[in-house]
Chain A
Amino acid sequence: MKKTKLNLLIKCILVMVPMWAMIAFIKLYPLAFTGRDSVIIYWNTNFINTHHKEDYKVLIMGDSVAATCFMPEYLSEDTINLSIAGSSMLDGYYTLKHYLKNNAAPTDIFVTYMDYHLQQDNIFWRASSLVGKYTFEDNKEIYDSIMATDADVSESINMDNFWEEAIQYVIGYPGKYMNAIVQAIEEGDRLEANKKLLKKIDLHSGRYCKMVNDIYDIANSNRVGYGEFFVTDLQDLYYTRFVELCAENDIRLHIVKTPSSYYTAYTEKYEKQIREYYAGLLGGYDNMEFVWYRDEYFVEWFWDNAHMNQHGSYQFTQRLKADYPEIFGNYAATPRQMETINADINIENELSYIFKWIDKSNYTVLLYNNLPPDEKINTLYQVYLHYNDQFLMPTDIPNLYYVTGDGAALSGINFAVDDKNINLQVGSDLTSISLASKYDITAVIIDNSNGTIVRTTHANYNFEEGSFHLMD
């Protein structure tokens, strides 16, 4: 009798082999099918559950605003941005909890959640569960917390099916993933695309957001007004837990409310409520603060009413560096960080900003001036105006100038001039500047640390606006 029962059990297991194989595939190769939007959550979950040899001293946490505003490449090598667009404090708490379980505590955490995310109970549970972020223990705590606070999480999950779904996510039940797997099969190259994306996230130290220089279209938007501030019980519960976790680990917590555009208005009542809330939350902790950057930024530094574009993020990051010199200090960008800056340079669409990104890092910029002789000085000055104390230096080739971020002499670049072009070689990278160019200026940005040509671009001078516009 026993034998037949055992036989039956073995046969049942055998018959279901494709199911086990699929579960194993889901657990072992999530990148092969994970949708683009989930890659950052996968990266984040993987990061917090891994022990890192290097200690990160500063964590950036929060939602899309935090992902946008804080640029680790300009802060410090040991800053990591663990924020996830759309997430809530509930998710942030487990991010920190898992990170601390596997890693040494950071000295500082900067956390930013849009007020909106604290005022509703969209808990981001499904998105995080999809990449296996929550353990059974986490799920139990989440379930109990939702029930205890009577939170309306219906947008995120039907609580009647909470455990059914939670178990499916934890074990990797194929029903939750087949849609993505089928799409991945049809696309054919999702694994490669995801690996690329993962590298990009790594490069940006976890910062994953819409990195653009689009400008907030106020002509077609309403002015945003804030009149009543409140925090739901569930979010409050998790914020309190988050603060306690920081206190237990002796972490300096900086709750940051980032600058808004001048197209946003707060009532006095709102400001009072928000300050009172955070004062209550952080009361009793000396090493924690709530900082509201009440500056009104230009709308040109936002791509929508809440999110800064690259230029806005740059401004805010510089401001943060200035306000916390003991944390971020003055430092020279490492070659790894410069790779991230290279990415910023590559999406830049204003010549003057290219010089801002470079700052004092180890870059060389070659400028070939094609303007008439009488315009030359003025033109180059316009470019120079946006830069630091370095002057443009002439090279052996007429009309070709250079400047280095750290003021060093020109080196490591080979020139070869023929009838039509100036050919440049940096390491194995080659680029040409046409002598008969139709552009006023050709700029070549060279990353000296990594020995690469970052970008070759052209600009024409707009006499009416008095500025340069990048052509490509």
Chain B
Amino acid sequence: MLFNSADFLIFFPIVTLMYFIIPAKAKNYWLLIASYFFYMCWNPKYIILLFTSTVITFISGLAIEFISGKEYDFKKEKTYKNLVVAASFTLNLGLLFYFKYINFALDIMSHILGAVGIHMTVPAFDIILPVGISFYTFQALSYTMDVYRGEIYAEKNFFRYALFVSFFPQLVAGPIERSKNLLKQLAVPKAYDYDNVRTGLLTMLWGYFIKLVIADRMAIIVDNVYADLENYHGMVLVVASLAFTIQIYCDFMGYSIIAKGAAKVLGMELMENFHMPYFADSIKDFWRRWHISLSSWLRDYLYIPLGGNRKGTARKYFNLLLTFFVSGLWHGANITFVVWGLFHGIIQVIEDIFRKVFGNVSEQITNKNLALLWKGINIVKTFIIANIGWVFFRSETIGQALWVLKNSLKLDNVKSFITGGGIYALGVNKVGLVVMITAFILLFVCSLIKEKKIAPIEWISSKNFIIRYAIYWTIVTLIVFSLDLNGQEFIYFQF
């Protein structure tokens, strides 16, 4: 069930209404039923995977706590706990590997064997990738780790825990929640709260705006160009790359905002998944702002356990590259994602070396205007690097990505593209262009407000009726003018 489908527009009000009507004791059960139904709308069979992952991690939590309660010596206790964690990780990652990576792994293996002269026919498994498997697996594993580290107590109520893993607003595309945040909130059933519902609904409206008005419109340009790549070069490819940079951001952020809003209506607070990533002044900064729930997960459960930056420079860079390798692989079973991840890792290493050699340049600039200019240059630089990275992310093969990058430089058609109305040839009509430009202005203003640490919804709420409703109606009007574009799935569903 997509957030931008009519099904969800029926499902969500019913679930919410019932949630507030039924007794407090039944609320979590109701949400659990709704969440499982939500998942089963996509493919009922695969609910078994979600349930299996839930059972494994739930038991692992209990087992770790059980071991802690026994009076084993430290070493033995640690060994037993490690065994439980290892079992939980092996089983969960095993499922993830089988359903997501088995064909990719076999393909790689066949290539490697082929390279050393061993040719064999590798059978392909006919497997449908379970939607959201990477998200809920990582969320469930974080629980095992949190119990292991003693950061939380093991959850004793299986149904509550099952709801934590399957909570429908963030089940299929995140944010990857931490047990410390969501599980605690689920322990206290929420009553109807006017402010929560109001803020949640407005947040959802904003999320729909970003997805339907911007992301889906950008998708038209991107899909048109990528469907017929060999006929384009120069400016068209640059525009398509920029469009995808915006599309992927608005598509994923749109989903995360709708998820956050839906949870807020139900009285839950989900973590922030994006914080104006294209205002980042370095790739390191970019990853503090982009898909925060995943990058923080990788930091906490992979990079730091690997030693982080505590074991020397070489090891730090190795850890960094490995983390970004995993990040790339997490996104999909394709070498393009791996290269995309490694590209970001390498850039971070280069940035770190640059910092080590030249020191922190921005701190050395004392002139305020120069500092601002330097920051601006860095923001543009980071945006361009991210943009290059997205070419790998969008392309089907490395060869295609390199072709796009190479042909993007043949900029002999800039004038003809601009004066000849090239954008219209990419599937955007005049009304669409007006809608797009208005939407960009709104998004930019909203991002600036957020960058100044002001919550946009609170800011709007503080204005008088006319300004407030002028903004609401502009947003709703732009959504209405984009409703014919719907049907575009969220990109991150495939991960």
Q: A175-B483, A178-B483 are in contact. Are A186 and B430 (CB under 8 A)?
A: yes
Q: Out of A11, A167, A182, A185, name the residue touching B6 (CB < 8 Å).
A: A167
Docked complex: B447-483 residues within 8 A CB-CB of A = 469, 472-473, 476-477, 479-483
Contact A11–B192 (Cβ < 8 Å): no
Query: Is A8 located at the chain interface by the 8 A CB criterion?
Result: yes
Number of A-B contacts (CB under 8 A): 58
Instruction: Give Cα A1 to B21, complex, Å.
Output: 13
How many chain B residues sit at the interface, stated as a range, is: 20 to 34
Instruction: Give Cα A177 to B482, complex, Å.
Output: 11
Contact B484–A1 (Cβ < 8 Å): no
Query: Is A409 located at the chain interface by the 8 A CB criterion?
Result: no
Q: Out of B5, B201, B431, B473, name the residue touching A182 (CB < 8 Å).
A: B431
Contact A11–B480 (Cβ < 8 Å): no
Stretch among A15-23, A56-64, A65-73, A258-266 lining the B interface: A15-23
Instruction: Give Cα A401 to B477, complex, Å.
Output: 65
Residues of A within 8 Å of B473, CB to CB, are 15, 17-18
Contact B205–A182 (Cβ < 8 Å): no
Contact A17–B476 (Cβ < 8 Å): yes
Query: Is B313 located at the chain interface by the 8 A CB criterion?
Result: no
Q: A7-B194, A186-B429, A186-B430 are in contact. Are A15 and B205 (CB under 8 A)?
A: yes
Q: Out of B192, B472, B482, name the residue touching A15 (CB < 8 Å).
A: B472
Query: Is B198 located at the chain interface by the 8 A CB criterion?
Result: yes
Instruction: Give Cα A458 to B194, complex, Å.
Output: 79
Query: Is A5 located at the chain interface by the 8 A CB criterion?
Result: yes
Query: Is B151 located at the chain interface by the 8 A CB criterion?
Result: no
Instruction: Give Cα A14 to B202, complex, Å.
Output: 13
Instruction: Give Cα A188 to B490, complex, Å.
Output: 34
Closest chain A residue to B20 by CB distance?
A5
Contact B477–A4 (Cβ < 8 Å): no
Query: Is B230 located at the chain interface by the 8 A CB criterion?
Result: no
Contact A11–B198 (Cβ < 8 Å): yes
B226 to chain A, nearest CB (A): 22
Query: Is A12 located at the chain interface by the 8 A CB criterion?
Result: yes
Instruction: Give Cα A454 to B286, complex, Å.
Output: 74
Query: Is B486 located at the chain interface by the 8 A CB criterion?
Result: yes
Contact A16–B476 (Cβ < 8 Å): yes
Contact B484–A15 (Cβ < 8 Å): no
Contact A18–B477 (Cβ < 8 Å): yes
Query: Is B432 located at the chain interface by the 8 A CB criterion?
Result: yes
Query: What 0/1 readout, one digit per residue, does chain A (167-178) give for beta carbons within 8 Å of chain B?
Result: 110000111111
A371 to chain B, nearest CB (A): 55
Instruction: Give Cα A182 to B431, complex, Å.
Output: 7
Residues of B within 8 Å of A18, CB to CB, are 473, 476-477, 480
Query: Is B300 located at the chain interface by the 8 A CB criterion?
Result: no
B3 to chain A, nearest CB (A): 14
Contact A178–B484 (Cβ < 8 Å): yes
Query: What 0/1 readout, one digit per residue, does chain A (17-37) give for beta carbons within 8 Å of chain B?
Result: 111001000000000000000
Residues of A within 8 Å of B431, CB to CB, are 182, 185-186
Q: Out of A4, A8, A11, A179, name the residue touching B484 (CB < 8 Å).
A: A179
B427 to chain A, nearest CB (A): 12
B173 to chain A, nearest CB (A): 22
Q: Out of A12, A22, A176, A183, name the residue touching B201 (CB < 8 Å).
A: A12
Q: A12-B201, A15-B205, A168-B6 are in contact. Are A175 and B472 (CB under 8 A)?
A: no
Contact B7–A8 (Cβ < 8 Å): no
Contact A174–B6 (Cβ < 8 Å): no
Instruction: Give Cα A471 to B429, complex, Å.
Output: 41
Closest chain A residue to B485 by CB distance?
A178
Docked complex: A404-440 residues within 8 A CB-CB of B = none
B44 to chain A, nearest CB (A): 13
Residues of B within 8 Å of A177, CB to CB, are 484
Closest chain A residue to B473 by CB distance?
A18
A206 to chain B, nearest CB (A): 30
Instruction: Give Cα A178 to B213, complex, Å.
Output: 13
Instruction: Give Cα A10 to B217, complex, Å.
Output: 31
Contact A182–B432 (Cβ < 8 Å): yes
Instruction: Give Cα A178 to B217, complex, Å.
Output: 14
Residues of A within 8 Å of B486, CB to CB, are 175
Residues of B within 8 Å of A173, CB to CB, are 6, 483
Docked complex: A177-196 residues within 8 A CB-CB of B = 177-179, 182-183, 185-186
Docked complex: A42-65 residues within 8 A CB-CB of B = none
Query: What 0/1 readout, one digit per residue, does chain A (156-167) give for beta carbons within 8 Å of chain B?
Result: 000000001001
Instruction: Give Cα A1 to B480, complex, Å.
Output: 32
Query: Is B197 located at the chain interface by the 8 A CB criterion?
Result: yes
Residues of A within 8 Å of B205, CB to CB, are 15
Contact A8–B197 (Cβ < 8 Å): yes
Residues of B within 8 Å of A19, CB to CB, are 476, 479-480
B38 to chain A, nearest CB (A): 16
Query: What 0/1 readout, one digit per residue, does chain B (1-29) give for beta carbons within 8 Å of chain A?
Result: 00001110000000000000000000000
Offer 23 A-B interface pairs, CB within 8 angstroms, sorted by A.
A4-B194, A8-B197, A15-B205, A15-B476, A17-B473, A19-B479, A19-B480, A22-B480, A167-B6, A168-B6, A173-B6, A174-B483, A175-B484, A175-B486, A176-B484, A178-B480, A178-B482, A178-B484, A179-B484, A182-B432, A183-B429, A185-B431, A186-B431
A1-B192, A18-B477, A186-B430 known, 13 other contacts, Cβ within 8 Å = A8-B198, A15-B473, A15-B476, A18-B473, A18-B480, A19-B476, A174-B480, A178-B480, A178-B482, A178-B484, A182-B429, A182-B432, A185-B431
8 tightest A-B contacts by CB? A175-B483, A178-B484, A4-B194, A18-B477, A179-B484, A18-B476, A182-B431, A164-B6
> Which residues on B are within 8 Å of A, measured CB to CB?
5-7, 192, 194, 197-198, 201, 205, 429-432, 469, 472-473, 476-477, 479-484, 486
